[in-house]
Amino acid sequence: MVRAMSNVDGSFWRDRPVFVTGATGLLGSWLTKALHDAHAEVVVLVRDWVPGSELCRSGVLEQLRVVRGELCDQALVERILGEYEVNTVLHVGAQALVPVANRNPVSTFESNIRGTWTLLEACRRSPTVKQIVVASSDKAYGEQEDLPYREDAPLKGRYPYDASKACADLLAQSYWATFQLPVVVARCGNLYGGGDLNWNRIIPGTIRSLIRRERPVVRSDGSLVRDYFYVEDGASAYMTLAQRLAEERALAGEAFNFSNEQPISVLELVRAMLTLMEAEGVEPLILNQAPHEIPRQYLSALKARERLGWRARFSLEEGLRRTIRWYRDFFHEPSASRQVGG
């Protein structure tokens, strides 16, 4: 809940008309719940009904202004911004799966690139929109030798998902540079938390396997190093960024990294979950079948700490504990100490 977010001023959000894209996704669900807890007037655009999402399961979706439709429908987006007199836009809607992007690049480009320019153009034509936060990703940086990534590093996304996020990032910067649209960019590490129903992702997939007493599957060789960023910290990052943009317009056009700055390999991450779920004897099944993956990617959040006063509240261990609890409840596991067999 937002009252637990030390970076967020609840009074700022009270009665503020906010438009959220991607509200039934992982980040969108927790972000929208936090906005609702802060008494914002939240409007969400929903394409697909996702009954297992945190937003639906919590019952919060029923208390929001919900518009059904596609983000690429510019007339619809303009109607939403106009009729609801939207002040703040948080754009987290995207096709967010790397394997899906590799299989279906065009649909990913449609969602992530066209969807972004549609939203930005609608915001440009709106007289009420004052703050816009656009979701980019650490993937927008592509593969680089200088780690951790800092915001002044070039965007070198090469593969379909990476390129789509780099394009969305550059579009946001372009709308600031050309039209002075009040937009900022958020670049997060790999988000995780309760409500992620994409089971080929390493954290929800591993937890589900262990709950079912199955061996967890690692698609890569396990050596890939990443940031894993707890979703409630992600929600507070977006809200803090929008709030600070309202207070300091000079932030417009800038990008900010958000991370708990605890990079870890995939195999180390899986072993941490095995320990937390009391299943240390289980050996993961390593497929070594993950093409087009960058070996090492992680972020510096120094700029966010210094410029925004933002800090991650959850360590990786605490974030994993909270996530495991969510999935145990989701799958109605009767005992938290249930052993996992081979």
Residue-wise pLDDT for 101-157, tens only, equals 999 999 999 999 999 999 999 999 999 999 999 999 999 999 999 999 999 999 999
Residue 20, pLDDT above cutoff 90:
yes
Residue 265, pLDDT above cutoff 80:
yes
Measuring CA to CA, which residue among 89, 42, 41, 34 is closest to residue 58? 34
Looking at per-residue pLDDT, the higher value among 307 and 335 belongs to 307
> CA 331 to CA 195: how far, in whole Å?
12
What is the pLDDT, as a whole number, of residue 5? 52
Q: Which DSSP category does 159 fall into?
A: S
**Confidence category of residue 28, pLDDT binned at 50, 70, 90:** very high
CB atoms within 10 A of CB 9: 15
What is the pLDDT, as a whole number, of residue 116? 98
CB atoms within 10 A of CB 262: 15
What is the pLDDT, as a whole number, of residue 289? 87
* Catalytic residue annotation: 161
Percent of the chain past pLDDT 90, that is, above it, reads: 87
Q: Tens digits of per-residue pLDDT, 211-223? A: 999 999 999 999 9
Measuring CA to CA, which residue among 67, 94, 95 is closest to residue 79? 67
Residue 49, pLDDT above cutoff 60:
yes
Residue 205, pLDDT above cutoff 70:
yes
Q: Tens digits of per-residue pLDDT, 313-340? A: 999 999 999 999 999 999 986 544 444 3
> CA 282 to CA 319: how far, in whole Å?
22
What is the pLDDT, as a whole number, of residue 66? 97
Largest CA distance in the chain: 60
Query: Average pLDDT over the chain, rounded to whole?
Result: 93
Q: Tens digits of per-residue pLDDT, 161-199? A: 999 999 999 999 999 999 999 999 999 999 999 999 999
What the block records as the tokens of 193 is 């938390």
What is the pLDDT, as a whole number, of residue 7? 63
- HEC string of 208-275? HHHHCCCCCEECCCCCCEECEEEHHHHHHHHHHHHHHHHHCHHHCCCEEEECCCCCEEHHHHHHHHHH
What is the pLDDT, as a whole number, of residue 292? 77
Q: Which domains does the chain have, with CATH numbers?
A: 2-192+229-261+297-313 (3.40.50.720)
Q: Tens digits of per-residue pLDDT, 268-292? A: 999 999 999 999 899 999 999 877 7
Q: SS3 of 148, please?
A: coil
* Beta-sheet strands, E only, within the chain: 17-21, 41-46, 65-68, 88-91, 131-135, 183-188, 190-192, 217-218, 225-226, 228-230, 255-258, 264-265, 285-286
State the burial class of residue 237 (Cβ atoms within 10 Å of its Cβ: 0-12, 13-18, 19+): buried
How distant is the alpha carbon of residue 231 from its chain centre?
A: 7
What the block records as the tokens of 198 is 């994409």
Angle at 48 between CA 45 and CA 52, to 5 degrees: 105
**Confidence category of residue 50, pLDDT binned at 50, 70, 90:** confident
- Please give the average per-residue pLDDT across 15-42, as a whole number: 97
> CA 92 to CA 288: how far, in whole Å?
30
